[in-house]
Amino acid sequence: MECVVQGIIETQYVEALEILLQGLCGVHRERLRVHEICLKSGPNLGFVASEVRLLCDLEQSEPTWTVKHVGGAMRGAGAEQISVLVRSMVESKASKNVLRLFYALGYKLDHELLRVGFTFHFQRGAPITVTVSSINKMLKLHATDEAVPVTPGIQMVEVTAPATSENYNEVVAAVSSFCEYLAPLLHLSKPGVSTGVVPTAAAAAASLMSDGGGTTL
């Protein structure tokens, strides 16, 4: 299970966001370059269609693979009240022939993309990960060296934190609280809820860039 919020930011303000995150998190950023391969079950496989994501971390000297299943979001009146998405999520590290395995099992490539950017991992009421990345599409199958941005000039920001059915309220509170610090630069909301860029981003970014983040936004 995980808690998730997303938002977008213009590429010109990413450096300012990085300064802000550096100050808030107290850790160094980690570079991100992940090839995400989204597979769907073939037409006859399973009584319901299924999707699975294979993530190949290209930033390592030896690429490493993760299998990720993102399930349904928590439902009910309680879920609608909160501004953070709580959903089922299971991950597993896997050896390098995981793509061959799923193809052999009858899964087909639905789409693939390349995320390039950086992440911050830190503890603030919960173990939180902030990912800032451009989403790139490949012009040829699996050609990660020839990827182009899907939305030039715009990058995605995602804040996630692992949760359980016992502690998700605390994790939601931690994520919501943290997101308030980012409000001058970007608005974060549940995936699928479009919010656009915030009008204060330019001023906030200028402030951050002028004094390296010393100014309280």
Residues at the contact surface with other proteins, assessed by CB under 8 A: 41, 44-48, 50, 52, 67, 69, 71, 88, 90-95, 97-98, 100-101, 104-107
CB of 129 to other proteins, least distance (A): 18
Question: Which of 49, 41, 82 is CA-nearest to residue 173?
Answer: 82
| Residue 76 CB contacts under 8 Å (≥ 6 apart), including other chains | none
Q: Which two tokens stand for residue 3?
A: 């808690």
Q: Report the residue number, 27 or 90, with the smaller CB distance to other proteins.
A: 90
Question: Which of 13, 12, 7 is CA-nearest to residue 178?
Answer: 7
Q: Report the residue number, 96 or 142, with the smaller CB distance to other proteins.
A: 96
Identity of residue 204: A
Between CA 93 and CA 199 the distance in angstroms is 40
CB of 89 to other proteins, least distance (A): 10
CB of 205 to other proteins, least distance (A): 40
Between CA 16 and CA 10 the distance in angstroms is 11
CB of 108 to other proteins, least distance (A): 12
Taking residue 20's Cβ as centre, other Cβ atoms within 10 Å add up to: 21
Whether 137 contacts 36, CB under 8 Å = no
Hunting for tokens 């319901």 — which residue is that?
48
In angstroms and rounded to an integer, the radius of gyration of the C-alpha atoms of the chain is 18
CB of 196 to other proteins, least distance (A): 33
CB of 106 to other proteins, least distance (A): 5
